[in-house]
């Protein structure tokens, strides 16, 4: 936790917060901080700054906070990810959030196991928890928007062209003839396939929606590795 994320309910006065539970434990046990120590803090969807501990008890920690800085700039990338297995989902949401992605669509595709859609990890609470971990990791405060689309075809045919309009729209596909570009200017919409990859008709649908299939080369990467490698290369 490189930033302690604050929520409006934490405030007991304009510049004073009281934290309990996970954040109190982390401050006491990982930061090993005590009264007088300062930590990096940030208000959800707001400013970042610092907080000085004024009281630490076995149940709560109180900080006086000053919020006058901006969070790091957002990445101009919208991710469209075929729903991965639940364990991997957590890593992708936290990882993409830490990289600065602010919009993620989790979509169905032919090779997505149907059971993944029943996972409790798709709950709003879990997605928010994973995104919070990514924000805390990267000292960011701005929560990404994460949306689920259980039907590939209507999403790709009716909604995705509008989402991708005005952006460089790419679908990562190991067998694509085109090499993935580097250091693009402007906004990007990036589609990533499931563990088994997109099937050919899905690639064709994405191409009709304005996407270009690009490859990172012959190495087949895990989905979470591919997300990080693609973003690092494109932005």
152 binds ligand SAM (CB under 6 A): no
Q: How many CA atoms lie within 13 A of 84 on its CB side?
A: 20
**Closer residue to ligand SAM (CB): 172 or 209:** 172
Minimum CB–partner distance for residue 84 and ligand SAM (Å): 9
**Helix or strand holding residue 60 (H, E):** strand 60-69
Told to check if 107 binds ligand SAM by CB under 6 A, we report no
Would you say 180 and 172 are in contact if contact means Cβ atoms under 8 Å apart?
yes
Residue of this chain nearest to ligand SAM (CB atom): 197
For residue 128, the SS3 value is helix
Angle between helices 86-99 and 124-138 (to 10 degrees): 40
Q: From the list 40, 174, 212, 228, which residue makes contact with ligand SAM (rule: CB under 6 A)? A: 174
DSSP 178: S
Does 91 help bind ligand SAM (rule: CB under 6 A)? no
Per CB under 6 A, 234 contacts ligand SAM: no
User: Total residues contacting ligand SAM (rule CB under 6 A)?
Assistant: 19
Task: Note whether 84 binds ligand SAM by CB under 6 A.
Answer: no
Q: Residue 144 has which token pair?
A: 């990404």
Does residue 46 belong to the site contacting ligand SAM (CB under 6 A)? no
Looking at beta carbons only, is 6 or 192 nearer to ligand SAM? Answer: 192
Show Cβ contacts of residue 88 under 8 Å, excluding neighbours closer than 6 positions. Answer: 195, 222, 223, 224
The nearer residue to ligand SAM, 142 or 227, going by C-beta atoms, is: 227
Q: How far is CA 25 from the centre of its chain?
A: 24
Q: Under the criterion CB under 6 A, does residue 223 sit at the interface with ligand SAM?
A: yes
Q: In what order do the strands lie in the sheet with 168-172?
A: 145-149, 103-107, 77-82, 188-192, 168-172, 212-214
Question: Contact with ligand SAM (CB under 6 A): which of 75, 96, 101, 172?
Answer: 172
Nearer to ligand SAM, 44 or 221 (CB): 221
Considering beta carbons, is residue 165 or 178 the nearer one to ligand SAM?
178
77 belongs to the binding site for ligand SAM (CB under 6 A): no
Distance CA 194, CA 197 (A): 5
Q: Where are the alpha helices (DSSP H) in the chain?
A: 22-25, 86-99, 124-138, 152-154, 160-164, 200-208, 223-234
Judged by CB under 6 A, the residue of 127, 226, 231, 234 near ligand SAM is: 226
Residues that bind ligand SAM (CB under 6 A): 172-175, 192-193, 195-198, 215-217, 219-223, 226
């Amino acid at each position: 936790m490189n930033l302690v994320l604050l929520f409006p309910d934490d405030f007991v006065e304009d510049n004073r917060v009281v934290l309990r539970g996970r954040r109190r434990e982390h401050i006491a046990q990982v930061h090993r901080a005590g009264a007088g120590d300062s930590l990096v803090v940030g208000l959800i969807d707001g400013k970042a700054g610092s907080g000085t501990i004024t009281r630490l008890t076995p149940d709560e920690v109180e900080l006086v906070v000053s919020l006058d800085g901006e969070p790091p700039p957002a990445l101009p990338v919208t991710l469209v990810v075929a729903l991965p297995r639940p364990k991997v989902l957590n890593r992708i949401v936290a990882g993409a959030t830490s990289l600065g992605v602010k919009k993620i669509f989790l979509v169905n595709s032919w090779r997505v196991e149907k059971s993944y859609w029943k996972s409790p990890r798709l709950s709003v609470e879990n997605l928010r928890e994973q995104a919070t971990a990514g924000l805390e990791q990267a000292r960011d405060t701005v929560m990404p928007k994460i949306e689920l689309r259980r039907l590939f075809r209507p999403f790709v045919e009716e909604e995705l062209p509008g989402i991708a309009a005005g952006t460089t729209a790419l679908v990562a596909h190991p067998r694509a003839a085109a090499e993935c570009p580097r250091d693009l200017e402007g906004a990007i919409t990036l589609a990533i396939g499931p563990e088994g990859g997109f099937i050919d008709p899905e690639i064709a649908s994405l191409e009709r929606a304005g996407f270009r299939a690009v490859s990172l080369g012959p190495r087949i990467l895990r989905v979470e590795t591919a997300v990080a490698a693609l973003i690092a290369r494109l932005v």
